Copies of this chain bind each other. A is one copy, B any other.
Amino acid sequence: MNEIDSQIVELGGEKHRQMASVLVEALPYIRKWRGKIVVIKYGGNAMASNPKDENEILKSFANDVAILQSVGIRVVVVHGGGPQIGEMMQKLGKTPEFVDGNRVTDQETLDIARMVLVGKVNSDIVRAINMHGPLAVGLSGEDAQLIIASLRHESLGFVGDVKIVDPTILFRLLSEDLVPVIATIGTDESGQSYNINADVVAARVAEALESEKLIYLTDVVGVLKDKDNPESLISALDISSAKELIDQNVIVGGMIPKIKAAIGAVESGVKSVHILDGRVLNSLLIELFSVSGLGTMVTK
């Protein structure tokens, strides 16, 4: 830096220099993502167990969504709510039962799931985002035939698979600069409702929207080479490596269905899938607007 340059910097001051440096780093991304669709899976587990913290995290998440929307990114939120459903079942004296990770869902459980997902979790997210303006609109898969579901297996009760995602209503809301927030309830052609896995819905919605990005906000830092060492984070992963890592048992447990859904989404045209730690404040901003990013990115 020559004499004049340093003089110029001096005029602005250190604080301004940092500010400018962040904005300048963020610029190519702000321009790059403008108008692009980003689907965010906001997991029940990304909300911390402690209500006070949950509140903090939800506020940070809502804030990030509002920022993304304000710079022209078209955001779609998909959420689950497993813990919250379990809690309500307990209050009503029902015991959750699981088979292979699927919640066995009788009519009463379905009613509870629907009420909790649509009437509580969805509403809470919508309200948090709308503290920043009239931005979010809550949807369930039942609205405007967004998600047509089918029975997964009779033994599981009303647990559904995604048969068709009709993104028409989403495109309409996005074209009005609104943020659709989707609860993962779907119906079949006869009008029967089903509870559907949110990771899968997020992937299928991202595919149907041919979205730029699908982001899983989870409670882990990303895919780890050594699951016990958070420092061993794998930042970028193509789909063939991802498949190998599953075969090699490096990717294990709850990460497997996420990575499988990610692979499917990338194969169906989503440009990249990101697995982020939703507990990091403003993690969405850092991931989208910095060179280094956080978490693990899966691409073709």
Contact = CB atoms under 8 A, between A and B. Distances in A.
A20 B282 contact: yes
A283 interface: yes
Contacts of A12: 280-283, 286, 294
A234 interface: no
Interface string A102-134: 000000000100111111101100111011011
A126 to B, nearest CB: 5
Contacts of A99: none
Contact of A67 (B27, B52, B63): B27
Contacts of A279: 8, 11
A27 to B, nearest CB: 5
A139 interface: yes
Interface string A140-168: 10111110000000000000000000101
Contacts of A111: 120
Contacts of A172: 172, 176, 178
Contacts of A281: 8-9, 12, 17, 20
Given A22-B23, A70-B30, A123 B134 contact: no
Nearest to A290: B19
B27 A70 contact: yes
Interface string A1-32: 01011001101100011111011111100110
Nearest to A281: B8
Contact of A91 (B56, B92, B139, B280): B92
Interface string A177-190: 01000000101000
Interface in A25-71: 25-27, 30-31, 34, 48, 50, 52-53, 56-57, 63, 66-67, 70-71
Is chain A's interface secondary structure helix, strand, loop, or mixed overall?
Answer: helix
A196 interface: no
Given A123-B185, A185-B123, A140 B143 contact: no
A280 B8 contact: yes
Interface in A175-211: 176, 178, 185, 187, 191, 193
Most chain B CB neighbours (cut-off 10 Å) among A9, A18, A133, A176: A176
11 contacts: A11-B280, A16-B290, A17-B281, A19-B22, A19-B25, A19-B286, A117-B119, A127-B193, A134-B145, A134-B169, A137-B143
Given A31-B66, A123-B142, 15 more contacts: A5-B56, A8-B280, A12-B281, A20-B282, A20-B285, A22-B23, A91-B92, A116-B119, A118-B119, A118-B123, A123-B140, A134-B146, A136-B143, A138-B140, A138-B143
